[in-house]
Amino acid sequence: MRVLIIGSGGREQALAWACRHHGHDVRVERDLGEASTSDTDLVIPGPEAALVAGVADECARRGLACFGPTAALARLESSKSFARELADGLGVPGPAFAAFDDEAAATSWWHELGRPVVVKLDGLAAGKGVTVPTSEAETLAAIASAAAVGRFVLEERLRGPECSLLALCDGSRAVALPLAQDHKRIGEGDTGPNTGGMGAYAPAPVPYSPEELSAIFVQPILDHLAAAGTPYVGVLFAGLMLTADGPRLIEYNVRFGDPEAQTVLPLVETDLAELALACTRGAVDEIPLVVRAQAALTVVAAAAGYPDAPVAGAVISDTMSSGVIGHDGTTTLRFDAGVDAEGRVAGGRVLAVTGIGFDLAEARRAAYEHIAHVHFDGMQVRRDIGWRALGAGLASYAAAGVDIDEGSRAVSEMKAAVEATHDNGVLKGVGSFGGVFSAKAILELDDPVLVASTDGVGTKVELAARLGMVRGVGMDIVNHCIDDVLVQSARPLFFLDYIAASVLDADMVAEVVRGMADACRAAGCALLGGETAEMPGVYQPGAFDIAGTLVGVAERSQLLPRPDVGAGDLLIGIGSSGPHTNGYSLLRKIFDWIPMDVVPDGFDRPLGETLLEPHRSYLDVLGPALSAGHVKALAHITGGGLPENLPRVLPSDVDAIVELGSWPVPPLFRLARELTPLMSTEELYRTLNMGVGMVVVCAADEVDTVRASIGETTWVIGRLEAGSGTVQLR
């Protein structure tokens, strides 16, 4: 077949590659112009501007088969307001929206909406006409800027992972290609201004099939346009956001995406030219779509100054040829977009490298291995392409390597053996937050009991070792144990530590112990000493582990939980300082492909610093409330989260009703929720504390007094009702 590709960028190179891959004779031209087309069997326009300018209409005039919509139908992309109004009229799910020419009217609508918005220019803007403001000042500025250009659209800001649906349409039917996920923003962690796309990967791990999404977002458009006598032929690209309420339409495009085409087309085994030609004949269902059981990931190298003011002229060097077959079966393809004949930068997005592998990790490795061989002055490459994929496929903490249920079973299995060693001095043992032992010899108290806790920091130490930020994990272990004995009203007496590594580093050990000393000093607790162990062959080089034991003392009469905990009591949540020391196997998994020095959208500091924020102590915070005697019970929210820890302080005949949304979930936990769409709410809240590190149980008529005594912002997060000792998240 003789195929003419219209356009000059990386997308058009990918289209040409896909057609040549099946033996077709392919020409790539910037525009249709006055070029001879008498020997052309099929025209495939690449850029939206050509379609809006009427290239499909001109092809029809010349009697050429063109895989692209008419100029009238290209309004689905060239006019955001037209597309929104059509989709809304057909019941296609999307955000609240309104179109404006006037700044004042838009500002008034936004204020009435009362929610964050996205500001979009109504016309074509090469993928960069979208502003996502994060404050009132930024929103007002974005509205003013858009109004100065012309017509624009305000849309309610949706939250959730995005995905790109590319459907090949023949006027009445559509064939959906593998779903992709684009990385629109210039900065790592999805920060900074929007671009045409800095990378993509496919298939995107989302809980919907391409066919399901096509039925919702593509077929209604095809049916409507066919009924109107204007059948849509070509690619219909639906940009979607997977919100908590289901998938929602972000935008329609009328062409292959860039860089989605570079990502998706190498996975299509079927002859693309045959599929496109069948679409022009209304017969797409006659060509079976075959997709490789592989993954692809594309990394874009952009010019200095992109997207606002790209700088041209830099010399490009590439020490690896394109189309390399790796020894492990991976493939890399290079598509030049902004490269002139002399091998210099001539555009904003200069080139794209696509890696193909048996899974996404292989594809990602292949792409980044190739892009590492490309160099030019000011080159911008995101290091985190595909970073959202790791959490998207995890439905449980066990999938990240930790089985909460198995841990609970282990406690149950050991309980009988442990209790066989107890005498009458043991008041609380295995299964409690800390063991409690009577100690009347401590004469300052009327009837003192010793409360002990042993714990570890867990896989958080791996991240601390990797980033060289170990002092905080010394604080982690002390404060975790302090909080464990505090829930039984005990104050700490002394702490003993244990540090093990493959090879001991004296400086590292000293820094960890300094963190322990900081926490002990703040709590009025003695750091008596501990054990350091060098264990080559047991730990990986550079890895270490921390554990410790803390002993505290409490009056027997003031031990918590009190026996009068019951239905009608309220739950007060006190904020955590972060994940504390739990959930790090999940967090390390979902953030493995994003650099730790990135500041994600909504964060106030780098991701690594956020993840390593030390576990806080609630000793001083809760001191006044405990002294006043209004606290009935405390629950330290550690491994197992709210669902597993609250029952440990409740009678067996009451349930804890936790009202989700009653406290502000911090940005880190919101992002973890966004990155794990398959994980149920119950599973997520069993894995992470979600911003609540300690829960106070008190009588309803004393809740205001207790909250006032705490001295920081707290939230009433639920209540106790008659039941069977479980937690219900609502």
**Residue 343 above 50 pLDDT?**
yes
Distance (Å, whole) CA 115 – CA 353: 39
CB-count exposure of residue 229 (10 Å: 0-12, 13-18, 19+) = exposed
675 falls in which pLDDT band (50, 70, 90)? very high
Dihedral sign for Cα atoms in the order 78, 80, 81, 84: positive
pLDDT value of position 407: 52
- The CA distances from residue 324 to 183, 333, 349, 553, in Å, are 25, 7, 22, 67
Higher pLDDT, 526 or 322: 526
Q: What is the pLDDT of residue 540?
A: 83
pLDDT digits (tens, 9 = 90+) for 689-708: 999 999 999 999 999 999 99
The chain-wide mean pLDDT, for the chain, equals: 90
Phi/psi zone of residue 329: left (φ > 0), alpha (ψ -120 to 50 degrees), beta? left
CA distance 241 to 208: 12
Quick one: DSSP state of residue 137?
H
Report residue 113 as tokens. 């909406």
Residue type for 50, please?
A
CA pair distance 17, 3, nearest whole angstrom: 11
- Bin 386: left if φ > 0, else alpha if -120 < ψ < 50, else beta: left
Helix or strand holding residue 560 (H, E)? none
The per-residue b/e assignment along 433-458, b for 16 or more CB within 10 angstroms, e otherwise, is bbbbbbbeeeeeeeebbbbbbbbbbb
Give the other-Cβ count within 10 Å of 531's Cβ: 11
> pLDDT per residue over 487-536, tens digit each?
999 999 888 889 888 877 888 888 888 898 899 889 988 887 778 888 88
Question: What's the pLDDT tens digit per position in 433-471?
Answer: 655 555 555 777 888 889 999 999 999 999 999 999 999
In angstroms, the CA 324 to CA 339 distance is 20
- Please give the pLDDT value at position 538: 84
pLDDT for 504 equals: 77
Rounded Cα distance, 288 and 265, in Å: 15
Q: Above 90 in pLDDT, residue 398?
A: no
The letter for the amino acid at 388 is R
Collapsing DSSP to helix, strand or coil, 77 comes out as helix
CB 360 within 8 A of CB 201: yes
| Rounded CA separation 637/572 (Å) | 13
Q: Map residue 224 onto helix, strand or coil.
A: helix
Q: Which residues contact 190 (CB under 8 A, 6 or more apart)?
A: 183, 184, 600, 601
Q: What is the pLDDT of residue 508?
A: 85
The rounded Cα 89 to chain-centroid distance in angstroms is 32
Q: In a 3-state reduction of DSSP, which class is residue 278?
A: helix
Q: Does position 721 have pLDDT exceeding 80, yes or no?
A: yes
Q: Token digits for 300?
A: 């874009």
Give the model's pLDDT for residue 328. Answer: 47
Torsion angle in degrees (nearest 10) through CA of 510, 516, 522, 523? -150
Q: Which amino acid is at 190?
A: D
361 CB burial (10 A radius; 0-12, 13-18, 19+): middle
Are 212 and 59 within 8 A, CB to CB?
no
Task: Grade residue 541 by pLDDT with cuts at 50, 70 and 90.
Answer: confident
> In the prediction, which pLDDT does 329 show?
52
- Could you give the C-alpha distances from 708 to 44, 482, 561, 702, in angstroms and in order? 68, 23, 21, 10
Q: How confident is the model at residue 97 (pLDDT cuts 50, 70, 90)?
A: very high
Three-state secondary structure readout of 657-682: EECCCCCCCCHHHHHHHHHCCCCCHH
With CA atoms as reference, report the closest residue to 604 among 44, 134, 28: 134
d(CA 35, CA 38): 9
Alpha-carbon distances of 518 from 453, 510, 512, 526, rounded to whole Å? 19, 12, 10, 11
pLDDT score of 177: 98
Q: Provide the residue type at 272 as one letter.
A: L
79 to 71, 129, 151, 153, 369: CA distances (angstroms): 12, 12, 9, 10, 40
Please, what is the angle between helix 703-710 and helix 619-628, to 10°? 140
d(CA 543, CA 369): 26
3-class secondary structure, 624:
helix
Which of 384, 321, 319, 374 is CA-nearest to residue 350? Answer: 374
Strand (E) positions, 618-708? 633-636, 654-658, 692-698
Q: Is pLDDT above 90 for 253?
A: yes
For the chain, percent of residues with pLDDT exceeding 90: 76
What are the tens digits of pLDDT across the range 199-250? 999 999 999 999 999 999 999 999 999 999 999 999 999 999 999 899 999 9
Identify residue 395 by its one-letter amino acid code: A
**pLDDT tens digits, residue range 562-605?**
999 999 999 999 999 999 999 999 999 999 999 999 999 999 99
Domains of the chain plus CATH, in order, are 2-62 (3.40.50.20), 95-157 (3.30.1490.20), 293-386 (3.90.600.10), 432-559 (3.30.1330.10), 560-730 (3.90.650.10)
Distances (CA, A) of 126 to 14, 145, 291, 495, 525: 18, 17, 29, 61, 61
**How far apart are the C-alpha atoms of 557 and 696, rounded to whole Å?**
18
Please state, in angstroms and rounded to a whole number, the distance separating the CA atoms of residues 88 and 93.
7
408, 548, 649 from 427: Cα distances, Å: 21, 21, 14
The pLDDT confidence band at residue 418, using thresholds 50, 70 and 90, is: very low
Pairing of strands 199-202, 181-182: antiparallel
Q: Please give the structure tokens belonging to residue 316.
A: 């490009």
What number is the average pLDDT over the span 473-496? 94
pTM value is: 0.86
Phi-psi region of 98 (alpha: psi -120 to 50; beta: other; left: phi over 0): beta
Separation of first and last alpha carbons in the chain: 60
